[in-house]
Amino acid sequence: MNEHDSEIMAGMLIEEGFQQVESRKEADIVIINTCSIRDNADKRFFGTLGQLKRRKKENPEFTVCVCGCMMQQQHVIDTIKAKYPWVDVIFGTHNIHRLPELLANIVAEKGKQLDVWPEGGEIVEGLPCERLHKSKALVNIMFGCNNFCTYCIVPYTRGRERSRRPDDILGEVKNLVADGVKEIMLLGQNVNSYKGIKTDSADEICDFADLIYMLNEVEGLERIRFMTSHPKDLSDKLIQAFVDCDKLCKNIHLPVQSGSSRILKAMNRRYDKEKYLELVKNLKAAVPGITMSTDIIVGFPGETEEDFEETLDLVRQVRYDSAFTFLYSIRKGTPAEKYENQVPEEIKHERFNRLVDLVNSISAEKNAAYAGRTEKVLVEGPSKTNSKTYSGRTDGFKLVNFPGNESMVGCMVDVRITEGKTFSLEGEVL
């Protein structure tokens, strides 16, 4: 979501005549888009800000803007105002569309710190976007979250759920396809609770599965993905959409957070281990070969060794293709911040390492089974480390590296997989 916000800000500034530069050193204006999901993201932000102070001192014309989730929190704004008064502009996630206006105001109000952050939340349509990839695009379908998982800051920084109109989404996707996009990723904190109101009929509600069926009809579009779906709201209708919609990739990111029903309750996730495993069973039965990934938090307050064993057991049963694993991080203002039974750091780390070892060994086994198969890959570009190696994703979201060239970028190619590694596959274009 932050990545897409950055694409939109870049799009707006390019429209205003600004140019993107390769490195921060060359820039006259720096915009830092922050994330506040865990403490290490917060720390990195303040570290980066500290580095910019000297440049601002040397050149007062140099402009520093800060935005994103961190700027939706009063304590962060207070810290910036007190310790970093030289920051020119502060704005929150709800005010991205006002960036060009804010930059224009800096010229008018020299030396004054400008900020807009708490109000807003309305959906602004038609903003430009400078995509990171030619052939794939991120598409917001809804904003905010109503779930209030007890560890999570998102409902406080992104506000309540609001869905875009299906007609607006369809219009955007058609424009993207006309611009060369083959794959879209539908974005929302809980896409399953998408509820779009059609422009021509206010009583007709379009739910998430309806939206997929609608987008599946877009000519020229080849792949549809989404992120993230909450297990408590994953409907049979959505599972059926995987069966019926040929463009919907056979892959799902379904965050579980913990395998212990007791911890899930304390997290306010509103499903238990059994319900989650039943969902996985239904998905695997309806969509043979579906690949699955998840998010897991280790060391939520009160997590015992037994609770953690339940998580390991769930991972063994589901056999995820990959998983994002996180150490629980206390977030100011969330209910879990006040829980007294915080897990000591060394225990968290020890459990985290055991979990990562298990997840990686399953990923490696699953990927090894791809050797000899042929997969359709949407080519994204050269790899960061070797300019002759190109990479792309399979329908199941596996990263594939192969010898390639620039003419392949944006194309769907057949790749024969030669080796499956822990985090990626190796192959040759047929």
Q: Give which of ligand SF4, ligand SAH, none residue 331 binds (C-beta under 5 to 8 Å, depending on kind).
A: ligand SAH
Burial tier of 21 (Cβ tally within 10 Å: 0-12, 13-18, 19+): exposed
Which one, 38 or 131, has the nearer CB to ligand SAH? 38
Nearer to ligand SF4, 80 or 323 (CB): 323
Tell me whether residue 230 or residue 247 sits nearer to ligand SAH (CB atom).
230
Q: Of ligand SF4, ligand SAH, none, which one does residue 155 interact with (CB within 5 to 8 Å by kind)?
A: ligand SF4
Name which of ligand SAH, ligand SF4, none residue 105 binds, using a CB cut-off of 5 to 8 Å depending on partner kind: none
Residue 73 contact among ligand SAH, ligand SF4, none, beta carbon within 5 to 8 Å by kind: none
Of 76 and 362, CB closest to ligand SF4:
76
Residue 37 or 52 with smaller CB distance to ligand SF4: 37
| Shortest reach from residue 140's CB to ligand SF4, in Å | 14
Pairing mode, strands 29-34 and 223-227: unpaired
> Min. distance of Cβ 295 from ligand SF4 in angstroms?
8
The listed partner (ligand SF4, ligand SAH, none) that binds 295, CB under 5 to 8 Å by sort, is ligand SAH
Q: How far is the CB of 189 from ligand SAH (least distance, A)?
A: 4
The number of beta carbons lying within 10 Å of the beta carbon of residue 384 is 8
Q: Which of ligand SF4, ligand SAH, none does residue 148 bind to, with CB < 5 to 8 Å depending on kind?
A: ligand SF4
Shortest Cβ distance from residue 264 to ligand SF4 (Å)?
A: 12
Q: How many CB atoms lie within 10 A of CB 8?
A: 19
Identify which of residues 146 and 374 has a Cβ nearer to ligand SF4 in the complex.
Answer: 146
Output the smallest distance, CB 44 to ligand SAH, in A.
Answer: 15
Instruction: Quote the least distance from Cβ 63 to ligand SAH, whole Å.
Output: 30
Measured from the CB atom, the residue of 154 and 287 that comes closer to ligand SAH is: 154
CA 148 from chain center: how many Å? 18
Nearer Cβ to ligand SF4, position 12 or 264?
264
Q: What's the closest the beta carbon of residue 62 comes to ligand SF4, in angstroms? A: 35
Interface ranges with ligand SF4 (CB under 6 A)? 145, 147-149, 152, 154-155, 189-190, 230
Task: Of 55, 54, 56, 76, give the one whose Cα is nearest residue 67.
Answer: 76
Question: Nearer to ligand SF4 by C-beta: 163 or 367?
Answer: 163
Q: Cβ closer to ligand SAH: 6 or 401?
A: 6
Secondary structure string (H, E, C) spanning the chain = CHHHHHHHHHHHHHHCCCCCCCCHHHCCEEEEEECCCCHHHHHHHHHHHHHHHHHHHHCCCCEEEEEEHHHHCHHHHHHHHHHCCCCCEEECHHHHHHHHHHHHHHHHCCCCCEEECCCCCCCCCCCCCCCCCCCEEEEECEECCCCCCCCCCHHHHHCCCEECCHHHHHHHHHHHHHCCCCEEEEECCCHHHCEEECCCCCCCEEEHHHHHHHHHCCCCCCEEEEECCCHHHCCHHHHHHHHHCCCECCEEECCCECCCHHHHHHCCCCCCHHHHHHHHHHHHHHCCCCEEEEEEEECCCCCCHHHHHHHHHHHHHHCCCEEEEEECCCCCCCHHHHCCCCCCHHHHHHHHHHHHHHHHHHHHHHHHCCCCCEEEEEEEEECCCCCCEEEEECCCCCEEEEECCHHHCCCEEEEEEEEECCCCEEEEEC
Does residue 228 have a cis bond before it (omega within 30 degrees)? yes
Task: Select from ligand SF4, ligand SAH, none the partner in contact with residue 194, using the beta carbon and a kind-dependent cut-off of 5 to 8 Å.
Answer: none
Partner from ligand SAH, ligand SF4, none contacting 284, C-beta within 5 to 8 A by type: none
| Residue 328 binding: pick among ligand SF4, ligand SAH, none (C-beta 5-8 Å cut-off by kind) | ligand SAH
Provide, rounded to whole angstroms, the least separation between the CB of residue 147 and ligand SF4.
4
Closest CB 146 distance from ligand SAH, rounded Å: 11
Measured distance CA(329)–CA(356) in Å, rounded: 17
Q: How far is the CB of 6 from ligand SAH (least distance, A)?
A: 17
318 binds, among ligand SF4, ligand SAH, none (CB under 5 to 8 A by kind): none
Q: What residues line the site for ligand SAH (CB under 6 A)?
A: 37-38, 151-152, 154, 189-190, 228, 230, 255, 257, 295, 297, 326, 328-329, 331
- Structure-token pair, residue 358: 């298990």
